[in-house]
Amino acid sequence: MTISPALRASLSSIALIAGLHGGLAHAADPAPAAVADAAPVADAGEAIIVTAKQTRSATAVTGLEIQKILPGISPLKAIETLPGVLYISSDPWGNNEQNAQIFIHGFNYQQLGYTLDGLPLGDQNYGNYNGLSPQRAVISEVVSRVVVSTGAGDLGTASTSNLGGAIDSFTADPKKSLGLEVAETVGSYGTSRTYGRIDSGAFGPGGDNAAYVAVARQRARAWDFNGIQGGWQVNGKFVHDDSVGKLTAYFDYSQKTEPNEDATSFRIPATTAAQAYTPYIRPYGYPNYAGYTSYLSAYGNTPAAQGSNYNNYYSDAQRTDYLGYLKYEAHLTDKLNWSTQGYFHHNDGVGVVAGPLGQSITVIQAYLDPNYKTDTHFTGNNNGTGNPALGAQLVAATGGSGQVIRTTEYRIDREGVVSALHLDAGAHQIEFGGWFEHNSATQWRRWYGADATNPSSFTPYIRPSNPLFTQYQGEARVQDLQLHLQDNWRATERLAIEAGFKTSAQWANGYYPVQPKLGSLSGLGAGGLPQGRINTTKWFLPAFGAKYDLTSHEQLYVNVQKNLRQYMTYLGGASLSPWFTGSQSAFNTFASQGKPEESWTYEVGLRTKRTFDSPISALEAQVNYYHVNFSNRQLAINTNPGGIAGSGITGGTAILVNVGSVHTDGVDAGFTIHAGPHASLYNAVSYNRSTYQSDYTATASGIGAATGTCIGGYVVPAAGQPNAGTVPTCGKVIPGTPMWMNKTVASLNFGPVEFQAIGDYVGKRYATYVNDTSVPSYFLASARLAVHLPAEMVHLTKADISLNVTNITKETGASTISIGSATNSYSVYPIAPRQWFLTFGAGF
């Protein structure tokens, strides 16, 4: 393989960082995949684990390293240093979910699995319907480690979306001694993060009990607009551990409000002045109500010269979650253990956009114009055109401000159980387990007026009330069942073989108690949004793995596994959901003939772990080659393309189709070098090439949109031409994911002073399905300087002060790419600027 000039430049920068050396300690060996949730917590000296002794590629980052990257960082943002992982967002903590994006080996966030202590967290869809983000499930400082299986997750992973890899986060257990930890972070843009945790220490007969309560509060102004992001979070954990078994109870409360930002839309090539208007950021009008009112026309329309990159007044996401589990690990005999975990999750949330009436006029007129059937229908951003009186009437009906407020409101009630029986039969470690969940979820699309006489009644921090109308309401009732059986066989002293299979079944019913009016949703047929059941059962998804000790230091491993992604049961907007197609007949066709996405993952790798005399004292390294056959890829073909992901703020239905397969080949290589007890260097290089294997037709109306052709080029042939309507995706690289990445962490540790530097290179990424446009590569550098103060002088167990600086070189460019078009257009969020954060932590 040829290394690109951009990558060579990146490696040169990394070499400079490496000169500072590092303090990453040696890797630990997590437990076998069958009992991954019981893997030992890495000690304070460990950081990035690159040599986990499993039959698949698995890397991890410990809680200590997570807080070094940035105190309070989300578990997903923390894994961006691991090989094969791309996680990007426009805030330094990775907390904002609207613009967060993750890719692992070419699979996006909705095709991965996520758990917390074995509890399922859903597929991370921004429109919540089956889970919540890890940062809402656990306080960052309470995370003990995050384990990433980049190729395929463990058979027991409780997820319906882990088509690719799995990300498993784990909470720390209570400490055995009474103690109090506090930390305060201040920094750029008014940041204030307060964290506190109190541990009970061991108590009760035999000292078998321990517990803690942790609290976090965060407040930070967004760097590119006047919005305050943050909220409150509380965690509690209780553990009773004796010779009979271990009982664990965990609870999480999270309340957060996050003003969001808008992406900038690009049209390549730009053929009009409006398409050429592409600001680096799209600022909101809030809190300058008077200024925003003058920005709009009398009818709530935006300047035509700004095109789709107009300014909204504000946008925000408000989320409240209650999550808890009770888990008991029973030692039935010295050879037989049974673990059972029951859990619940309740979510109440809302996503809000307050913006120009003219941009939403196609929906508003359908509901608020009493003569809608006979009046001329206004088009987008043309309220009042040809009928000023009606335009003024609609402004008055929505509050007189020229604005309207659109919400997507969410409710989730999940409960379930995860259970596994593990038998130690000498050379055989056998596990049989299962996961069952019942999920009741609701999404409402509602519209509210913006009262010009009381502008303080609508802000990013107030949940709208008293809707003008509910456009639609979707209800889903879903039962998920997974079973797995596996055997880890120590065939010889050097050879271990792991084989097994899992089942994946989903019974889903979706319906709409409130249907949208005809004309208010693009692509909607006269029968309304579709309703009905889809039951999907796959009873045999096999897995096989082996590891062989070539020497006492080197190990070879292989893994082959089949996975499936169940259909999305989100009923709140156009997405990869069969329940948001434009007609009942389209739904029925897909329900009877469509196929869920499936993948075969093949991995082979080599690990080594050695110690040496100085100056290099130790080395851990792993190189991993993988090949993936991804079939039945789903695509939502928008019925009214335009805006971000089609139809802009007014939304639209889609035609859901299977568009063929994707083949992926890639290599991950990572190592940690130690130079005595004071310095080390971690580096990971990743190459990935994921390509479509077929073109598809843009005029598909059923489930068979893959054409089987490979016509090449970048243009969709027009009517009357050969292959008319065929989108030439065959041989093209999946957009959004780079082919090259490089991650470096270098540390220096002398006495009370620690220094750490991180380099993150992300290669060029295509932004459309046919690869006719792309965004350039970037390199981000960050650093941390910490001093351990003489805590004993003031009777503390610890006292630290640290300074973190992100994006040191003030890199600009594209972070998250919003991909929704086959050709010519895409949207991007900007890279956050350089920021600094000072943290003081103390322990009592």
pLDDT at 49: 62
Rounded to the nearest 5°, which phi and psi values hold at 170? -130, 140
Q: What are residue 782's DSSP bridge partners?
A: 758
Measured CA to CA, the distance from residue 647 to residue 444 in angstroms comes to 18
Residue 156 CB neighbours (<10 A): 26
pLDDT at 702: 63
The single residue listed with the structure tokens 């009928």 is: 387
Measured CA to CA, the distance from residue 745 to residue 72 in angstroms comes to 19
246 Cβ neighbours under 8 A, 6+ residues apart: 239, 240, 328, 329
Report whether the peptide linkage leading into residue 728 is cis, meaning its omega lies within 30 degrees of zero.
no
Q: What is the DSSP letter of 294?
A: H
pLDDT at 643: 33
- The two structure tokens encoding residue 837: 């954060």
Instruction: Name residues of the chain where pLDDT drops below 70.
Output: 1-54, 574, 639-647, 700-702
* pLDDT single digits (tens) 546-603: 999 999 999 999 999 999 999 999 999 867 899 998 889 989 988 998 899 999 999 9
* pLDDT single digits (tens) 702-754: 677 899 999 999 999 998 999 999 999 999 999 999 999 999 999 999 889 99
Q: Letter for the amino acid at 593?
A: Q
Measured CA to CA, the distance from residue 331 to residue 53 in angstroms comes to 25
Q: What are residue 488's DSSP bridge partners?
A: 429, 498
What SS3 state is found at 206?
helix
Q: What is the DSSP letter of 262?
A: B
Measured CA to CA, the distance from residue 707 to residue 703 in angstroms comes to 11
Residue 203 CB neighbours (<10 A): 13
pLDDT at 42: 36
The 3-class secondary structure across 378-393, one letter per residue, is CCCCCCCCCCHHHHHH
Q: Can you give the pTM of this predicted structure?
A: 0.91
The single residue listed with the structure tokens 């996401």 is: 317
- DSSP assignment string, 372-431: TTTSPPPPTT-TTTT-HHHHHHHHHHTTEEEEEEEEEEEEEEEEEEEEEEEEEETTEEEE
pLDDT at 34: 27
Q: Letter for the amino acid at 75?
A: P
pLDDT at 805: 98
Q: 355 near 401, Cβ under 8 Å?
A: no
Picking from 579, 563, 443, 564, the residue whose alpha carbon sits closest to that of residue 508 is 579
Measured CA to CA, the distance from residue 295 to residue 285 in angstroms comes to 9
Measured CA to CA, the distance from residue 406 to residue 573 in angstroms comes to 13
The single residue listed with the structure tokens 């189709």 is: 657
CA angle 324–325–326, rounded 5-degree value: 140
